[in-house]
Each structure stands twice: as C-alpha cells, then as structure tokens.
Amino acid sequence: MGRLVPLAKVEILTTHGLDLDFLPLKARTSPEWAAVVLADFDAFLLDHAGCERKAAASALSLLSRFSDRPALVEVMTTVAREELEHFAQVYKLIQRRGLRLGPDAKDVYVNHLLKGIRNGAEDHLLDRLIASAFIEARSCERFQVVAESTTEPDIRDFYQTLARSEAGHYLVFVRLAARLFPQTEVDKALARLSEIEALAIQMTPIRAAVH
C-alpha cells in the first residue's frame, strides 16, 4: 500500500471494484485485527456506530468553523448526512442484536492523527481535510477486511457497501482540498500526513473497534 494515484483512476476502482492498493495508506492493518473483531463483533458494532456519529459531528464542525466557504458548506452538508445514514444503518444491526449504545470511547488513532494538524487557519483547514481523507481511507480498508473475513453473508454485503462509500468519502475530502488549495500544497499535506497516519495505526492497540 501507499501509492498515490490519479483520482480519476481511483474513481473507476470505487465504481467497478475495490483494490485497496490504491488507497494512500503506508501500513496495512495487522492480520490479528480481523480475528479480534470477529471474536467480539458486538463491541465492534458499538464502536462503529460511535465512529459514524463522530464523523457526522466532525463534518458539521468543519461546516461551522469555515461557513464562509460555499464549496465546503455544500460538501460537508452532504458528508454529514451520509455519515448519519451510516449510523442509522449500524444502529439497526445493534438493535437486532439486542445491544444498547454507550458513551463514545476515546479514539487513540484519531487523536494521534489530529496531533499532526498545523496551526493557522489555512494550514489547519487543509490538514483537517487531509486527515479526514485518511480516516475515511483507513475505514475503507478495515471495512473491506471485515467483509472478506466474515462468514455471514449479510455482514459481508453490508461492509462491502460501506467500504465503497468510505472510498468515495476519501475522494470527496481530497477533491475538496484541491478546490480550496494549490495542488502542490495538497500533495505535501498528503505525503506528510501519510507518515503520521501509518504511525498512528501502528501505535494503536488492537481491539474490537474500527480504529
């Protein structure tokens, strides 16, 4: 993993089949992760619901902080809506299993990644967009791993669909960054944060959680 490719080529992949080698991730998920998730899938679902809820909140936070940028407001409105729809879908699975939501757990991975975001309004916005892109890319990879590992057809189909959606969200954040900033700055942010993201996922303890 780790090759950055033209976005048009990634779009074809998300339409006709996922090839995870085209995600901008420099570290693969450990094989042990899938085993831990499948051994406690209820805990994974509860964490997943929290991740979707926090993703929607993050999109709305960006919208609120940078509401003077029409392109960002339009895109983040759509992203927040889609993340809430994902939350609703996961919540249906949670209800079906007789589970109840609890408070959101601390996300070590995301917190470590966000430490790499620079200060200053413009640098902060660019890095927030690229960090969000990496979170979506990592979720895409992990949902695909779940789909390939489970023996339950319904779970496999659900997470394959979500993996495609997360790949699309990765593209949304990178393309929005390219609309708001010079491509050279976007490329630099992608390269810098790719290193931080790889370290973040390697430092995060393996548990029945998305990250």
Instruction: Write out pLDDT tens, residues 18-65.
Output: 566 668 899 999 889 999 999 999 999 999 999 999 999 999 999 999
pLDDT score of 209 more than 80: yes
Token code pair at residue 31: 């094989």
pTM: 0.90
Torsion of CA 112, 116, 122, 128, to 10 degrees: -30
Cβ atoms 159, 147 nearer than 8 A: yes
- How far apart are alpha carbons 32 and 181 in whole angstroms? 39
Mean pLDDT of 187-194: 96
Token code pair at residue 150: 């489970």
Nearest CA to 166 among 147, 190, 153?
Answer: 147
Out of 1.20.1300.10, 1.20.1260.10, 3.40.225.10, 3.40.228.10, select the CATH number for domain 7-17+30-203. 1.20.1260.10
Token code pair at residue 165: 């959606």
Cβ atoms 1, 140 nearer than 8 A: no
Query: Which region holds residue 2: left if phi is over 0, alpha if psi is between -120 and 50, else beta?
Result: left
Average pLDDT value for the chain? 90
In the three-class reduction of DSSP (H, G, I as helix; E, B as strand; rest coil), residue 156 is classed as helix
pLDDT score recorded for residue 23:
83
Please state the domain extents for the chain.
Answer: 7-17+30-203
